[in-house]
Each structure stands twice: as structure tokens, then as C-alpha cells.
Chain A
């Protein structure tokens, strides 16, 4: 088997100097190319820290983080990120927001001006994929929360990252919009050649979307168990009402409750 896309080994990460908060400790995680991994765990256990370690926003005090066969020592631009807060820039149209990463990433920023039409076409295709066809000229404040989050996904994908990292992206949305977006993510993963890591506190979300669900302990966080999700793809929303699905959700729920109690 090929080497994993992400390999985190024995990582400790402490915030704010030697006496600061130990956020994660003895963290081990491997993510294979093309895999969809969901990370669940009690609040404050270091899930976002795990994301930031993988993208190179934080460098751990000990242990190693390897992404695409190279040690992470600075931000890695093969990653796209999306957070719960869509952070669209209000002075740019949706389309201009989506093109923003191209103005930053080394490999695209020098080509952008000359190949603008090509990139705009790509952005519009992405918008169509997430169900926002024709909304490119709208400003973010003209979009609903769910639509902003869709645009946010487009922004995370525009530079064709190998790894998409989603940190509780649907936390602020209502149940129906959230299920719609689950399907958007599911289809993105099925059609684009991308590896996805999703942090969530919604266990149904993690089981519905992921190939593998990893459970973290309370702070300092480490992985306490990994569960392969057995359900065949493509998965439909009806799956949410099947007994086997709910059984798995309940098992995860129990584990996290124990992890919280242990803290």
C-alpha cells in the first residue's frame, strides 16, 4: 500500500510556552489518499489543534507530522480549509471570494492575471457543483448561511487541494440545510479526487459521511479508537433511519461520554 497522505506520529502540542495548555499528547493518526476521515471527541479536546497541526499552522513541540511525504515545518498549500464561520470577505463578490486562494498560492498567483477566464470558468463550475449556479456575482451578505457555507467549500477547493480539512463546517446551520450540505460533501468526495478530514460534534454526520471515524479523548487529546464505517457508497439520506446506522451512532456516543467522564 502507498504511503499515507497524512501521517501524525507521537505528537505533543502545548499552547503558550512550557507552562501552557497541553492540547494534544501522544497523538497518532494516518489518513490514506482518497480517504474520508471524521474526527469526533469532547469539546476542547484538541480537534481544531489537530487540524492546525496537519495544515502547518502550528508546529508541534515533539513528534512528527508528515503530509504528502514531507515533514511539515510551515503551512502546506496542498490543503484547503473551511471553518464553521464562513469568513467570506464582504467587499468581494462570491466569485471574487472563491478566487482569493489563487491570489495567494505560489503556483497560481503568477498565472492568475493571464489565465483569468480559465479560473473563473473553474470557479463557476464549482459553484454549479454545490448548487450555487449563477450566484457568483452576489455579495456574501446576499446569501443565506447555508449558501455562504457552500461558497466557502468552493473557496476551499478552488486551488485543487489534495486534502480538504473541514472544522465543524455545518455547526451553525439548521438540520435541513445541514443534510443538504452532507449530500454536497458526499458528492464532492465521490467526484473530485480529494482526501477529506472532517471535524464534527455531530455523530450522525460523521457516520453518514466518513470511511473512518476516529474518536479523541478529553484534553490532552489523543486518538482512543478508530471505527471503519461499513455502509456501502453511494449513501442516501435514508441510511440515517436504518437500525445499523443508529447502532453505530450510539456506540460512538457511549465512547465519547466515557471519554468526557474520564476527564
Chain B
């Protein structure tokens, strides 16, 4: 009797341990699947490497050109992150300013929307005239394209404080600064951290576009020159590196968001 009792849990225990967590594993499997389909598709269709290289050929290119790929990847990551960091500082500052009062919010919001409607690519030639080709226009393009979502999110978080919360605090003698520090800024943080995911993705768009048209380093420039040499596998290798950098930075931002504003997820979940 007692022996069966002790054996049952032992027999049952390994089962869940062996069970594969398909949900956790599925991103990996789908990625492998994508590469397999790409490989098979490229081989079966018989398209030449100069049009659609197989993934094996692309990985070969990464291996073969590792030194320039590494150097240019670091350069692109550097310009992107620098532009992104400037966007965070400026975005927070401008966002706090715009969200400070409903009047400023009403007045500046349309201007911001208008500014955002300009395709930032069109600004690259101007930046080149001002700063020459190279790192500076890439950083600035990354900054210009990515700071808008940060501004909008921070400002919206501030401008939408519940009037009742404001009344309770004002009745206690709170100044505008008190209300901003105690309520406005903490409550805009989930908006702010949420916007970082969008902003970092856009920052890559900005830096690569600028590198492509006006630089002598970075993945954008490397891909442009590989393309003019008909080195299509290297172009695809550059794309792959961009994807890796983009995913890594996005994951980092998602992680930061979760760490910093866990309360927002939990409190909305219960409502």
C-alpha cells in the first residue's frame, strides 16, 4: 500500500518534465522552417545567386566577409543607438513640455503631427549639406524618425490625468509640479516605455536609409555597394544582420518595459 503511494508520484513526476513546451519553442521552429522553405524554394526554382541566393549561400557570405560585416554592423548599431538615445532625452523633454498643460498640448500637438508627416528620408540631403556625409546625418536621421512616438506617448500620458485625481491633490494645496511628479510622470511611464519598442525599430530605418544614400560605412552603405558589385549574397547577409540587431534591440526594449512598468500590466489585467 505504502509502496504504491510512494511510487505513484515518482512515476508521475517525470512526465511534465519531459513534456516539450511547444509554445516557447515555436519561434525557433518557425524560424528554422522559414529558412528551410527559402532554401528549398531557391533550389527548386533554380534562380541564380544574383537574384535569390539560398540561405546557405548567405551564411557562407557572412562567414566569408565577416570582418567588414562585423565592422559595419557595429557602426550601424552605434549610429542607431546614439540617435535613439538622443530621441529618448529629447522625446522625454518635449513630451513633458507638451503634456504640461492642456493649452500647450492643444497648440503644439497639430504641429508635431505635421512634422511627423514629413518623410524623414527627404531630410537626409539637407542634413548632408549641413553636416557632410557619414555618421552625423545617420545619427540625426535615426533621432528625427524615432523621437516622435516618444513625445506623443509621454505627452498623452501626462495630458490624460483623471480630473478627480487632480482635484484631490489640488484641494490639498498641490502645485502643478507636485501633480506632475506624483501622478503625471509615473503614469506616463508605461506609455513611454511602450513607445521605446516602436522608436528603436524606427531608429534602424532612419540610420540605414541615411547610410544607404550618404555614408561610407554602416550596413546600409555596405549593402548599397554590394548591390552595385552584384554581390547579392552579401546584400542578403546585411539584411540578416539588420534583422538580428533589430530583434535584439526590440527584445531589450520589451524586457525593459516589463521590468519598469509591471504594475501597468497587472492593473489592466485585473480590470
Binding site for B on A (CB under 8 A): 52, 55-57, 74-77, 79, 81-83, 85, 87, 89-91, 100-101, 103-106, 139-142, 155-156, 159
Contact = CB atoms under 8 A, between A and B. Distances in A.
Given A90-B264, A104-B173, 14 more contacts: A77-B173, A83-B168, A89-B165, A89-B182, A90-B263, A90-B267, A100-B182, A103-B178, A104-B178, A104-B182, A105-B172, A105-B173, A139-B263, A141-B271
Contacts, number: 69
Contacts of B187: 89, 91
Contacts of A103: 178, 182
Given A85-B164, A100-B182, A141 B171 contact: no
Contacts of A56: 171
Interface of B: 162, 164-165, 167-174, 178, 182-183, 186-187, 189, 261, 263-264, 266-267, 270-271
Nearest to A87: B165
A159 B270 CA distance: 30
Given A57-B171, A77-B173, A81-B167, A89 B266 contact: no
B187 to A, nearest CB: 8
A141 B178 CA distance: 24
Contacts of B164: 83, 85, 87
A87 B263 contact: no
15 contacts: A52-B167, A57-B170, A75-B170, A75-B171, A77-B173, A81-B167, A87-B165, A90-B264, A90-B267, A91-B187, A100-B169, A104-B169, A105-B172, A139-B267, A159-B172
A174 to B, nearest CB: 17
A104 B183 contact: no
A95 to B, nearest CB: 15
Contacts of A140: 267
In the A-B complex, the 5 residue pairs with the closest CB atoms: A90-B267, A141-B267, A141-B270, A104-B172, A55-B171
A190 to B, nearest CB: 25
Nearest to B179: A104
B176 to A, nearest CB: 12
Contacts of A159: 172
A106 B270 contact: no
Contacts of A81: 167-168, 171
B173 A57 contact: no
Contacts of B270: 141-142
Nearest to B189: A91
